[in-house]
């Protein structure tokens, strides 16, 4: 039997292969965080030439925005197939990027390499034997001192956790993914921003928070946005 990591690898590679030739658009929270100004959003925004790691870039929808912003863009994904598909898209668009196979808890770049990490719907994926804390330690390792994480974090009341099995480390084993990509896999969820800040605080400070509560025609997506700085 395949383990949870190999299952999700094959599921997502098929998922992105099916849309490899489709035009894609950046995620709204990424656009708003990178380009807009809000009263409770307080961080030093990236400028051309800064280095950024796009964690779990998928079909490259946010990678394109980062390149268009003049950043030095790298990224990681869980299979070579997904990397190859995104590299083809970037090449067709004339972008130069450094995309590699990696995991949240195993990033194939050196210490203090990046000014920023973008983790859009990705940081809370926990491989077998790993926790979200392991992921955050790896993020901190590859960030420069004072570097920033820009992330979305799962809300425990979101659709993906319907019927999920709660585990002692704060993660939940997914049971009813309507997209059939994550069943049997562990995602870490939070109930409120205070819990997020407490969990992240050993490694990060200077938090900005936002949240979304969306009903996409029967799929209730609830998620937190968090920006924080490496201590």
Residue 116: pLDDT above 50? yes
pTM: 0.95
Residue listed under structure tokens 């383990």: 3
Span 120-179, pLDDT tens digits = 999 999 999 999 999 999 999 999 999 999 999 999 999 999 999 999 999 999 999 998
Strand stretches in 46-156, DSSP E: 51-55, 72-77, 98-101, 114-119, 125-126, 143-155
Q: Which domain range does residue 89 map to?
A: 4-230
The total of structural domains in the chain comes to: 1
Work out the pLDDT band at 3, boundaries 50, 70, 90.
low
Q: The CATH number of the domain where 27 resides is what?
A: 3.40.50.150
Residue 4: pLDDT above 70? no
Rounded Cα distance between 31 and 65, Å, is 8
């Amino acid at each position: 039997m395949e383990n949870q990591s190999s299952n999700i690898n094959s599921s997502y590679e098929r998922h992105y292969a099916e849309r490899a030739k489709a035009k894609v658009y950046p995620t709204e929270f990424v656009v708003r965080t990178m380009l807009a100004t809000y009263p409770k959003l307080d961080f030093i925004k990236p400028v051309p030439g800064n280095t950024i790691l796009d964690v779990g870039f998928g079909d490259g929808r946010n990678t394109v925005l980062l390149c268009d912003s003049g950043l030095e863009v790298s990224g990681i994904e869980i299979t070579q197939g997904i990397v190859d598909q995104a590299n083809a898209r970037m090449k067709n668009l004339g972008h130069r990027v450094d995309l590699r196979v990696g995991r949240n808890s195993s990033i194939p770049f050196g210490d203090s390499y990046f000014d920023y990490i973008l983790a859009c719907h990705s940081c809370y994926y926990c491989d077998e034997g790993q926790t979200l804390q392991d992921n955050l330690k790896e993020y901190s390792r590859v960030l420069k001192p004072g570097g920033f994480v820009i992330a979305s974090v799962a809300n425990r009341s979101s659709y993906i956790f319907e019927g999920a099995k709660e585990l002692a480390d704060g993660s939940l084993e997914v049971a009813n993914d309507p997209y059939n990509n994550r069943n049997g896999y562990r995602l870490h969820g939070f109930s409120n921003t205070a819990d997020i800040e407490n969990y992240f605080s050993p490694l990060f400070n200077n938090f900005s928070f936002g949240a979304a509560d969306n009903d996409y025609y029967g799929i209730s997506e609830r998620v937190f946005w968090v920006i924080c700085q490496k201590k």
